[in-house]
Structure 1
Amino acid sequence: MNQNEEKLFKIDLGLRRHPFYQNYIFSYQGKMVFLKGATLSKMLADKVCAISSQKVFRRAKDLIDTDIYSYCAGFDMLEVRRLAKESGHDIENFDAFQNRQADLRHAYEKLDDVVHKPDFDTLYARLSTFLKPFIENSMEPSVWNGMAWTDPQCEQGKTVRHGR
Structure 2
Amino acid sequence: MHIKEQAAERHTLSIVVDNEAGILARIAGMFTARGYNIASLTVADITEDHGVSRITIVTYGVPEMIDQIIAQLDRLVPVHRVTDLSDLGPHIEREMALVKVAGTGDHRIEALRLAEVYRARVVDSTIASFVFEVTGNPEKIDKFCELMREVGLVEVARTGVAAMARGREAA
TM-score range, shorter chain: under 0.3
Instruction: Please state which structure has a larger fraction of its residues in helix.
Output: 1
Larger Rg: 2
TM-score normalised according to structure 1 size: 0.27
